[in-house]
Amino acid sequence: MAKKIYIYIYMGNKILLILTLCLTVGTVCAQNEPYVLGADISWMQQDEKSTKYYRNGQAKDLLLILKESGFNYIRLRLFVDPTAKVTEDKPNSDGWSASPYSTAGYCGLDSTIKVAKRVKEAGMKFLLDFHYSDTWADPGKQYKPMSWRNLNFTQLTEKVRSYTKESLQKFKEAGVLPDMVQVGNEVVGGMIHPDGQGNTQNFATLVNAGINGVKDVDPNIKIMMHTINDKNPNSWLTTLKSNLNKVEANAANKIDVIGLSYYPKWHGNVDSLKRALTAIANNHNIKIAVAEYADFHRQVNDVVYNLPSNKRLGTFVWEPQRFDGDDSKPLFDWKNNPAGRHSNALLELYPQMAIDYAPLPSSSSQPSSSSSEAITPILNANSVENVESIRMYFDGSRVLIKKTLSNGKVRVFDLKGKER
């Protein structure tokens, strides 16, 4: 049997690379699908006009900070026309209204493609969240886009498919197709109200149209459905899948991932999340994610990671650079000297999560010869079976290698194999 050892390469507290080394000659270790440590940073583009982001006092691109901290996936929301004023949208008691979402067009098609390019250039994967609305779609509101108001249900179904297809075609032309698409946002009560509300078959018809629009462009794009950690998500998924199969034979098989929003203020303690995700894992052959969360960062990820390995996908923390509503805990705090959003101790939880959840690269090839040569002096045939992990890091003056053994003991070597 091959012995697989994880090799973590650091520069300071940044994870530069995670390798897998197989130590049985002629054997290649199988790789697991990487655990998703994702973030929705859709506010980033508009905030950058007046905000800088800092980690350890150094101003950096937010995407770079997240990648250095172990994040590997970015979620971006998309509105049909974020400049539109929704007729029935009224200001709340604080004077805030949901529309227009952005007179500058942020989170519209053009602006989202620009951010997607940066995501791909950073070497991260990309989840596109279709709201099918001109502004926020959530359990309390799923406004029908203003430009779609005169469409009957048949026409609306056709529009959902064509809009999805045409939007993704634009991403494809820009070379930034998403790796995953979310068909609707927090659609626990349906989508595109009133057409997709109160009628589960109509809802399934619209969902199927969105899925088919995705598959029209690229059948390999994964599909996520998104609900909340409330209203029995296991039963909700069962009903949706049943109705999808009534719309089109085996349509439910096109769903790859079920994602839940989890906010303790609304959805209870972490145990309630665990119960909901466990019920889904026990009853559905599907990948599971927490598509939005903003508190209990380590606990939420532990719950997802501890699901069966063939069911877990990962998590997407919601607007971690600044969202502090609903008793949430962002990963950055505003400071005045220098002015901007500075990373805090919560962000520093993520490099360790990236290690603990071992988000390995997809390639199953052996490490490069230089990597192997650096490791060889501290491994030998008599010690291989006792090694759990190896970490390479720079201590300020030299590269050191930390070897953790199965019994918990730690040994540190330099690159010449001399124990320190």
> Among this protein's residues, is 186 annotated catalytic?
yes
Instruction: With CA atoms as reference, report the closest residue to 291 among 124, 74, 123, 122.
Output: 74
pLDDT recorded at residue 255: 98
- Average pLDDT (144-158) is 98
- Assess contact for 144 and 160: CB atoms under 8 A: no
Q: What pTM does this model have?
A: 0.82
How far is it, in rounded angstroms, from Cα 58 to Cα 60? 6
pLDDT band at 410 (very low <50, low <70, confident <90, very high): confident
pLDDT of 214 over the 80 cut: yes
Whether 74 has a pLDDT exceeding 80, the answer reads: yes
Return the pLDDT at 363.
Answer: 42
Amino acid code (one letter) for 37: L
Checking if the pLDDT of 325 tops 80, the result is yes
Burial 378-414 (b: 16+ CB within 10 A, else e): bbeeeeeeebeebbbbeeeeeebbbbbeeeeeeeebe
Q: Is the four-CA dihedral 227, 230, 233, 236 of positive or negative sign?
A: negative
Region 8-37: mean pLDDT is 57
Query: For a pLDDT cut of 90, what percent of the chain falls above it?
Result: 74
**How sure is the predictor about 29, in pLDDT bands with cuts at 50, 70 and 90?**
very low
The rounded percent of the chain whose pLDDT value lies above 70 is: 81
Q: Nearest-CA neighbor of 240 among 206, 212, 200?
A: 200
Sign of the Cα torsion 239, 245, 246, 247 reads positive
Spatial separation of the C-alpha atoms in residues 245 and 250, rounded to whole Å: 5
Overall size of the chain counted in residues: 420
Sequence-separated (6 or more) residues with CB below 8 Å from residue 295: 263, 264, 327, 328, 329
- CA angle 26/29/34 to nearest 5° reads 155
Tell me the C-alpha distance between 11 and 268, whole Å. Answer: 39
- Whether 121 is catalytic is no
- The one catalytic residue among 68, 88, 173, 292: 292
Please give the span between the terminal C-alpha atoms of the chain, in angstroms, as a whole number. Answer: 31
CB 118 within 8 A of CB 63: yes
**Per-chain mean pLDDT for the chain:** 87
pLDDT of residue 401: 75
Domain ranges across the chain: 4-29+365-414, 36-356
Closest CA to 318 of 1, 69, 76: 76
The H or E element containing residue 18 is: strand 14-22
Distance CA 251, CA 358 (A): 33
Kindly state the DSSP code that residue 414 receives in the 8-state scheme.
E
- 349-368: pLDDT as tens digits: 999 999 898 644 444 444 44
pLDDT of res. 17: 54
pLDDT mean over 108-116? 98
Mean pLDDT of all residues in 358-382: 44
User: Are the CB atoms for 89 and 146 separated by under 8 Å?
Assistant: no
Q: What is the mean pLDDT of residues 367-372?
A: 40
In the prediction, which pLDDT does 94 show?
87
| pLDDT on residue 407 | 72
pLDDT of residue 411: 80
Q: What is the mean pLDDT of residues 232-253?
A: 98
pLDDT of residue 403: 72
- Which residue in 121, 158, 186, 388 is the catalytic one? 186
User: Coil, strand, or helix at residue 375?
Assistant: helix
Average pLDDT over residues 40-68: 96
Query: pLDDT class for 6, splitting at 50, 70, 90?
Result: low
Architecture of the structural domain at 36-356: Alpha-Beta Barrel (3.20)
Predicted pLDDT at 33? 77
For residue 201, is pLDDT > 60? yes
